Structure 1
């Protein structure tokens, strides 16, 4: 009987390990690539340590109590006397949770305030400013200093603070680059700010982590961290080769659909600032009725690398909103991320 029981336990254990072996193990938040992400990872690790300590103590006490006060032949008919209880113990198990909350609250508050400022060590470096506008279901990045606008990808110089000014053309979404920062909401007629620094050149995946319709799950973008020389060359190439964006095509771009990567040599900030309380709201509710899921994810293996500049980006904006796509060679980074 014991051998059968042991075989069953071994079989269940092996089966459990085989099932777990197919699980995704790439946990990006534990591989920070910037100071903001490192601060968040340290906070998560501290929280995990405290939670593990609580679990070990609670389950240890639970096991000890079950074993110590288990029913045995010699105490089968024992009835414990009614007691008032222990004042000391009650004070202890009330004080311990308070201390745990304090131990979690202090570093959490300190980290949250630190994330609102330029990361330490970068205070003397002038940040570049990039306006981020979310729309269903795409990300629009405007560079007012460089006079550039991109869709679904953003290039930044490495080792340089970047100030993202976040807003939305309509519904509320959440801007999140797990390898570089925490998340912040984008809201229409409002503006939030987020500082990001990438330690090294690389490709980092960003996404919308807030549910706002069927398209939110695939509302992704790429942050391409480049060397200063690569970034300056990219800016020069865009200014020379990318097409201009018009107001009519921009409003068409805001319709609910998925897009590829687009690049323009001007920004929409000249005619609309979605953070302005008096700006227009672009929700296009009539396009959600009776049409179901608008568009589909742009997936093309040739749409990768920062090597192509196609003059026909804007032509895609004239297409019907049900099937809005772009040419294969759009100017942007690869799909991969850390």
Structure 2
């Protein structure tokens, strides 16, 4: 009988075998701090949940119909001591959760520049951030490295222990940029720019994807994040520079067209103003940029 029960549990074990616990074992300091928030919050809530569950079982057993030895007090309706416990414990936990949330919201603000590389490693003046411009396309990701003049489709690389400063936008519909091992997700929206600061603390290859449904090719809209040593990142940049692919405005308009399951592609040359044009939705020749429209509106319009 016991063997049959164990066999019945095997399908559930198989389902759990497909779980990825990267959120609880991240590779970056920001993701690690977010993990700590989740763990601490869960423990605080379990302080209430576990006793309630245990007491539910205890009362059901103690006051079952067959237990004639249990006291029967139909007139009992109040206990000051019990009321204090029932109200004070949740109140204290809510205060702790509120303080934790308030501090975490400010310290882990995605727009806030990093204050440290890791728990025991503060930011130094030599730790210049790596600038990466991210564009969510249908259905692929474009990463532009303005400081190096290269770009990549569906592949992101960064050196270990170097701050990364992402500037994020989209070409058509809203997406969500998410690398669980690196930092929390943040939305990518056309005509708007969001920002994210992060750092990778160990080498490896990690999965990134869109966490917001965006149409038919959504399931294939993922990429590889390569966390490399300084030398490995230099080699990656050199390999990108050696590519004969060019990413000008006309090339981008071809790339922007919806496509699914695109392979990794590197670009050795990138138009310097391409990201600015994408953000202002004026890559097409002759199209007025949003920034120009706003400047005209600020002056009272064309009339």
Give SS of 2:183's match: coil
User: Deviation per CA, 1:111-130, whole angstroms, max 9, x where unpaired?
Assistant: 33233331423522111110
Is residue 25 of structure 2 the alignment partner of residue 31 of structure 1? yes
State the secondary structure of the residue aligned to 1:255. coil
Select the residue among 52, 57, 60 that pairs with 2:54. 60
- 1:42 maps to 36
Report deviation, 1:182.
1.3
Q: Shift of residue 213 of structure 1?
A: 1.6
Q: Is the 8 A contact 1:188 1:274 kept in 2?
A: no
The aligned length equals: 272
Identify the residue that residue 292 of structure 2 maps to in structure 1: none
SS state at 2:35 partner: helix
Give 1:118's aligned residue.
114
| CA RMSD, Structure 1 to Structure 2 (Å) | 2.6
Q: 1:119 to 1:72 in 2, by over 3 A?
A: same
CA gap 1:271/1:36 in 2 versus in 1, 3 angstroms: closer
TM-score in terms of structure 2 length = 0.80
C-alpha separation in 1, matches of 2:41 and 2:113: 23
Q: Could you list the per-position Cα deviations for residues 78-133 of structure 1 after superposition, in whole angstroms to 9, with x for gaps in the alignment?
A: 6813x553355344323333322222232233233233331423522111110111
Q: Distance in 1 between matches of 2:202 and 2:154?
A: 21
SS in 2 for 1:263: strand
CA distance in 1, matches of 2:29, 2:104: 11
Q: Residues 75 and 140 (structure 1 numbering): CA distance in 2 closer, same or farther, change over 3 Å? A: same
Counterpart in the other structure of 2:95: 102
Q: Cα–Cα, structure 1 residues 79 and 199, in superposed 2: closer, same or farther, change >3 Å?
A: closer
User: What per-residue deviation string (whole Å, max 9, x for no partner) do you get for residues 204-229 of structure 1?
Assistant: 11111111223222210111122212
Question: What pairs with 1:78-93 in structure 2 (closer than 5 Å)?
Answer: 80-81=74-75, 84-93=77-86
Distance 1:143 1:122 in 2: 25
TM-score relative to the length of structure 1: 0.72
Structure 1 portions without partners, runs of 5+: 1-6, 283-338
Give the structure 2 partner of residue 183 of structure 1.
Answer: 185
Does residue 1:248 correspond to 2:242, yes or no? no
Aligned to 2:169: 167
Whole-Å separation in 2 of the counterparts to 1:146 and 1:73: 78
1:273 and 2:282 are equivalent in the alignment? no
1:262 counterpart residue number: 265
Segment of structure 1 superposing worse, 264-273 or 26-35: 264-273
How far 1:161 sits from its partner (Å)? Answer: 0.8
Residues of 2 paired with 1:166 and 1:215: CA distance? 20
| Structure 2: gaps of 5 or more residues | 285-303
- How far the C-alpha of 1:45 sits from its partner, in A, is 1.6
Q: Is the 8 A contact 2:45 2:93 kept in 1?
A: no
8 Å contact from structure 1 (residues 142, 268) kept in 2: no
TM superposition shift of 1:279: 2.5
Deviation at residue 272 of structure 1 after TM alignment = 4.9
Aligned in 2, Cα 1:226/1:219: closer, same or farther, shift over 3 Å? same
- Aligned residue for 2:211? 209
TM superposition shift of 1:12: 2.9
Q: Which residue of 2 aligns with 1:316?
A: none
Question: Which structure shows the higher strand fraction?
Answer: 2
- CA separation of 1:119 and 1:207: change in aligned 2, threshold 3 A: farther
